[in-house]
């Protein structure tokens, strides 16, 4: 199960954020730690088709690495997921 937190809590979670979280839930078994040892680019590669379906721009650079203007959000979720998995 994917666990996440959104800050500031007083703002609440928008539909856009809920949809992004659903992208992670769809590929959770492929990205969860410690079973899968993926870096942020590896995780983004798994979820990029789902992000693109939500009209997010996901670009492939000349080096064939996937980059996104929303990668900061991805890194945050990965770190939170790893912390939560390690504590449970």
* pLDDT tens digits, one per residue of 2-56: 777 777 788 788 888 889 889 989 999 998 888 888 887 788 889 889 989 998 8
Quick check: is 54 in a domain?
Answer: yes
Indicate the pTM of the whole model.
0.64
The answer as to whether 13 is a domain residue is yes
Count of H-run helices and E-run strands, the chain: 4, 2
Containing H/E element for 60? strand 58-60
pLDDT-derived band of residue 1, with 50, 70 and 90 as boundaries? Answer: confident
pLDDT-derived band at 62 (thresholds 50, 70, 90) equals very low
Q: What's the domain range around 65?
A: 9-87
Instruction: Establish if 75 belongs to a structural domain.
Output: yes
- 3 assigned to some structural domain: no
Note whether residue 1 is domain-resident: no
Find where tokens 């980059």 sit.
67
Interior angle at CA 53, CA 51 and CA 56, nearest 5: 45
């Amino acid at each position: 199960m994917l666990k996440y937190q959104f800050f500031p809590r007083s703002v609440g979670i928008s539909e856009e954020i809920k949809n992004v979280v659903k992208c992670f839930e769809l590929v959770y078994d492929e990205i969860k730690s410690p079973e899968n040892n993926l870096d942020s680019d590896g995780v983004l590669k798994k979820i990029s088709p789902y992000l693109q379906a939500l009209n997010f721009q996901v670009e492939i650079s000349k080096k064939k690495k996937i980059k996104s203007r929303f990668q900061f959000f991805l890194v945050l979720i990965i770190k939170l997921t790893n912390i939560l998995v390690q504590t449970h």
